[in-house]
């Protein structure tokens, strides 16, 4: 029986390995292209001349934002029946950041976060829903910031398709959030589907408007901190980009990086930064340098999660329950 199961699993593992290889190749190809189009001397010089005070400030602001997001996650997890200490939530959050460094897309570590939150007894589907809600509300803030940023004068240099896409996405996201309770009434199959996958009452957040409002407000604060992190890095490089422009660039890059087309968004994130900064008049070398500094902040923060993962007694090995 076990031998037969192993034989059946081989094609699945082979397809998974092939997908991983293709996504690694895509990220590597984008990186190689960027390096071929960037004056390497200018890139290196930009990084060396970056003001370390701005870098330190960006790193601290980014870390503070992750702690705030862990608190928001707790607000979303509690109505689903998960009661964890703030310390545990922060630890789980940073462990997830560590796994994000080498998993597909920029949210691969969320799988581990869900397992840690659920433990061995509670529903992993409900745990995953809390993380989805955390990500979704963060995306709401990002797309809203990007839409508001289009009121600035720099919008003239942006492709029309990009501007329309951002505005339509913002309208759809807010429409879903506002209309969800009514959608469930109109489409009862949504509740049946939720019950089938052991999700339970997935409209529970709409039953506590005060909590939902707090989560949304924290999402805006958290994403503003992330955006200003990149702005500080750009200032440290001497980039001539208005602060308001970062409120468009960073949300678009973050949302694109979520797509599971590369490992940890590598290559996709950097290419998006270079493209958008170039539209805003920034030198290619400095735009690429900024993207690499952003990457370094993400990696350093993820390594904190590695320390938590390796040197604490948290249940870091997630086993599939039989």
| pLDDT surpassing 50 at residue 122 | yes
The secondary structure of 256-313, three-state, reads: HHCCCCCECCCCHHHHHHHHHHHHCCCCHHHHHHHHHHHHHHHHHHHHHHHHHHHHCC
| pLDDT surpassing 60 at residue 9 | no
pLDDT tens, position by position, 274-293: 999 999 989 999 999 999 99
User: Using CA atoms, how far apart are residues 165 and 134, in angstroms rounded to an integer?
Assistant: 23
pLDDT at 320: 41
Q: What is the mean pLDDT of residues 308-314?
A: 82
Q: What is the mean pLDDT of residues 190-215?
A: 81
User: Using CA atoms, how far apart are residues 170 and 133, in angstroms rounded to an integer?
Assistant: 16
Helix (H) or strand (E) holding 119: none
Q: What b/e string do you get for 118-157 counting C-beta neighbours within 10 Å, with b at 16 or more? A: beeeebbbbbbbbbebbbebbbbbbbbbbbebbeeebeee
User: Using CA atoms, how far apart are residues 103 and 93, in angstroms rounded to an integer?
Assistant: 15
With a CB cutoff of 8 Å and minimum separation 6, the contacts of 59 are: 229, 297, 300, 301
| pLDDT surpassing 50 at residue 162 | yes
pLDDT at 322: 34
| pLDDT surpassing 60 at residue 121 | yes
Whether residue 297 lies inside any domain: the answer is yes
pLDDT at 321: 43
With cut-offs at 50, 70 and 90, classify the pLDDT of residue 35: confident
Whether residue 21 lies inside any domain: the answer is no
Whether residue 25 lies inside any domain: the answer is no
Total tally of structural domains belonging to the chain? 1
Q: What is the mean pLDDT of residues 160-167?
A: 92
Report the percent of the chain where pLDDT is more than 70.
88
User: Using CA atoms, how far apart are residues 222 and 231, in angstroms rounded to an integer?
Assistant: 14
> Collapsing DSSP states into helix, strand and coil, what is residue 105?
strand
Q: What is the mean pLDDT of residues 76-86?
A: 92
Sign of CA dihedral 257, 260, 262, 263: positive
Whether residue 253 lies inside any domain: the answer is yes
pLDDT at 317: 47
pLDDT at 13: 66
Residue carrying structure tokens 């052991």: 198
With cut-offs at 50, 70 and 90, classify the pLDDT of residue 316: very low
Whether residue 322 lies inside any domain: the answer is no
Whether residue 70 lies inside any domain: the answer is yes
| pLDDT surpassing 60 at residue 188 | yes
pLDDT at 59: 98
Whether residue 30 lies inside any domain: the answer is no
With a CB cutoff of 8 Å and minimum separation 6, the contacts of 93 are: 66, 67, 69, 70, 73, 113, 305
The stretches of the chain forming alpha helices (DSSP H) are: 2-37, 40-48, 52-77, 86-100, 110-118, 124-149, 160-186, 189-196, 209-236, 243-257, 268-279, 284-311
Residue carrying structure tokens 């061995």: 120
**How close are the terminal C-alpha atoms of the chain, in Å?**
15
With cut-offs at 50, 70 and 90, classify the pLDDT of residue 191: confident
Q: Which tops the pLDDT comparison, 318 or 116?
A: 116
pLDDT tens, position by position, 64-80: 999 999 999 999 999 98
pLDDT at 277: 94
Supply the mean pLDDT for the chain: 86
Mutual angle of helices 268-279 and 284-311, in 10-degree steps: 150
User: Token pair for residue 140?
Assistant: 């709401």
pLDDT at 251: 96
Structural domain harbouring 43? 37-311
Q: Which tops the pLDDT comparison, 21 or 242?
A: 242
| pLDDT surpassing 80 at residue 88 | yes
Q: What is the mean pLDDT of residues 248-270?
A: 86
| pLDDT surpassing 50 at residue 319 | no
Q: Could you tell me if 302 and 101 are in contact, meaning their C-beta atoms sit under 8 angstroms apart? A: yes
């Amino acid at each position: 029986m076990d031998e037969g199961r192993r034989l059946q699993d081989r094609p699945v593992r082979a397809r998974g390995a092939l997908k991983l290889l293709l996504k690694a190749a895509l990220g590597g190809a984008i990186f190689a292209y960027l390096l071929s189009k960037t004056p390497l001397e200018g890139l290196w010089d930009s990084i060396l001349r970056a003001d370390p005070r701005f870098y330190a400030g960006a790193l601290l602001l980014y870390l503070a934002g992750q702690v705030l997001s862990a608190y928001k996650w707790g607000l979303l997890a509690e109505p689903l029946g998960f009661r964890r200490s703030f310390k545990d939530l922060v630890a789980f959050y940073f462990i997830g950041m560590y796994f994000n460094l080498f998993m597909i897309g920029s949210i691969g570590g969320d799988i581990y976060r869900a397992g840690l939150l659920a433990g061995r007894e509670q529903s992993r589907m409900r745990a995953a829903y809390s993380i989805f809600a955390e990500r979704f509300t963060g995306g709401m803030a990002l797309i809203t910031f990007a839409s508001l940023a289009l009121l600035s004068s720099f919008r003239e240099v942006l492709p029309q398709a990009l501007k329309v896409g951002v505005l339509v996405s913002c309208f759809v996201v807010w429409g879903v959030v506002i209309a969800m309770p009514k959608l469930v009434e109109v489409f009862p199959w949504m509740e049946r589907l939720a019950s089938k996958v052991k999700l339970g009452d997935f409209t529970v957040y709409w039953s506590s408007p005060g909590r939902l409002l707090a989560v949304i407000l924290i999402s805006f604060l958290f994403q503003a901190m992330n955006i200003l992190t990149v702005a500080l890095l750009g200032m440290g490089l001497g980039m001539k980009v208005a602060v308001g422009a970062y409120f468009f660039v960073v949300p678009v890059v973050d949302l694109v990086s979520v797509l599971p087309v590369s490992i940890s968004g590598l290559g996709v994130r950097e290419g998006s930064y270079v493209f958008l900064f170039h539209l805003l008049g920034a030198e290619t070398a400095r735009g690429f340098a900024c993207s690499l500094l952003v990457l370094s902040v993400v990696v350093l923060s993820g390594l904190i999660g590695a320390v938590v993962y390796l040197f604490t007694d948290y249940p870091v090995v997630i086993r599939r329950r039989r």
